[in-house]
Amino acid sequence: MSTPLPPQPSQKSCLERAVIIFIRLLFALIFGVAIGAGIYFGAQLLYGQYTSLTQDYEARITTLETQQTEAGQVVANRLSDFQTRLETLEVQGDTQKESLANLESRLTTQEEYLSIQATAVMGQQATQEVIQETILALQTQMTTLQTDLEAIQAVLAQFDEDITALNTNTAAYADSIDALNATVAASEAHLIELQHQMVVLQAMELLTRARLNLVQGNATLAQSDITAARELLTELLPQLPPYQVTYVTETIVMLEDSLNALPQTPLTAADQLESAWQMLAAGLPTEAEAQAAAAAAESAATPEPGQEETPTATPTPTGP
């Protein structure tokens, strides 16, 4: 029984393959342009949000500083007014003390005078009535002075309450400034994270362009794009926390392997490039994700007790 000859490819099948290759190249070009446009407009949006947030925080800080300055000036003015009023009250108290001393002196003089008058002139009833009226007037003045002293003490107590309220307001202003500083610090951390994501997106754009160049057979441009992406990630390393440095370092190693494989083995380079692109597309890990990944890797690397490695049979190549 004779073996039938394989059918010869027709000119129509060659044309179909050329159309398929052209369509794939067209899709790859459209995909690269879409990613570039997304990165460009995303960067514009992020920059606009950052500018708006920064201006808002600066305006709020300026407003709080102005309010604190005005409150401090008001407190200083009120304290100065309180000090002036206290000094005035002290002067009035000293004056009233002198008046009381004068009144006491006058009372003593009046008593001596009465004694002399009583001894000298027993019959001057009119003079005694005048003296009694004077004594009553002096007693009324002493009562008035006592009332004034009580009013002054009440005013001093009110001043103490006002000073306590001012101290409370000052502490509240300090708490508000601390809260605003904490908000600014959180915004700066979010901005740094956005900057890192922008660098990762730029590296992904370069790797996408390198993949397209590899598909087109242009290894030189692909090497240039891969090198540029590696330099971007290398410059990013000192800015990352330790749990993200390991992840980005693995990606850089893949890019170096891809560069070493060009131009001799473009398929190997494309595989390494695809793996690096997938790692960047997954995004930078958080600290919890990095710890979970490290624990999973350690668990996978440590064999369970009593478990032996099963030798893998090497397949024997068969002829066509």
Q: pLDDT for 172-205, tens place per residue?
A: 756 766 776 666 566 666 788 788 888 889 989 9
Lowest mean pLDDT among 1-10, 162-171, 217-226: 1-10
Are 169 and 242 contacting, i.e. CB atoms less than 8 angstroms apart? no
Q: Which residue has the tokens 């709080």?
A: 64
Structure tokens of 304? 């369970």
Q: What CA–CA distance (Å, rounded) separates 153 from 149? A: 6
∠ CA 261-264-265, rounded to 5°: 60
Q: What is the DSSP string of the chain?
A: -PPPPPPPPPHHHHHHHHHHHHHHHHHHHHHHHHHHHHHHHHHHHHHHHHHHHHHHHHHHHHHHHHHHHHHHHHHHHHHHHHHHHHHHHHHHHHHHHHHHHHHHHHHHHHHHHHHHHHHH-SS-HHHHHHHHHHHHHHHHHHHHHHHHHHHHHHHHHHHHHHHHHHHHHHHHHHHHHHHHHHHHHHHHHHHHHHHHHHHHHHHHHHHHHHHHHHHTT-HHHHHHHHHHHHHHHHHHGGGS-HHHHHHHHHHHHHHHHHHHHTTT-HHHHHHHHHHHHHHHHH-PPPHHHHHHHHHHHHHHHSPPTT--PPPPPPPPP---
pLDDT in tens, 60-108: 888 888 988 888 888 888 888 888 888 888 888 888 888 888 888 888 8
Q: Which amino acid is at 295?
A: A
Are 197 and 43 contacting, i.e. CB atoms less than 8 angstroms apart? no
Are 156 and 148 contacting, i.e. CB atoms less than 8 angstroms apart? no
- CA-atom Rg of the chain in angstroms: 47
Q: Which residue has the tokens 């947030």?
A: 53
Residue 311 has a CB neighbour count (10 Å cut-off) of 6
Beta-strand ranges (E) seen in the chain are none
Mean pLDDT of 124-147: 79
Tell whether the model's pLDDT for residue 307 goes beyond 60. no
Are 262 and 221 contacting, i.e. CB atoms less than 8 angstroms apart? no
Distance of CA 173 to the CA centre of its chain: 19
Q: What CA–CA distance (Å, rounded) separates 229 from 244? A: 17
Are 156 and 92 contacting, i.e. CB atoms less than 8 angstroms apart? no
pLDDT at residue 311 in the model? 41
Mean pLDDT of 274-281: 89
**Percentage of residues of the chain with pLDDT beyond 70:** 81
pLDDT at residue 314 in the model? 34
Q: On the CB side of 24, how many CA atoms lie within 13 Å of its CA? A: 11
Tell whether the model's pLDDT for residue 316 goes beyond 50. no
Cβ neighbours of residue 173 under 8 Å, at least 6 residues apart? 64, 67, 68, 71
Mean pLDDT of 245-273: 88
Are 223 and 207 contacting, i.e. CB atoms less than 8 angstroms apart? no
Tell whether the model's pLDDT for residue 154 goes beyond 50. yes
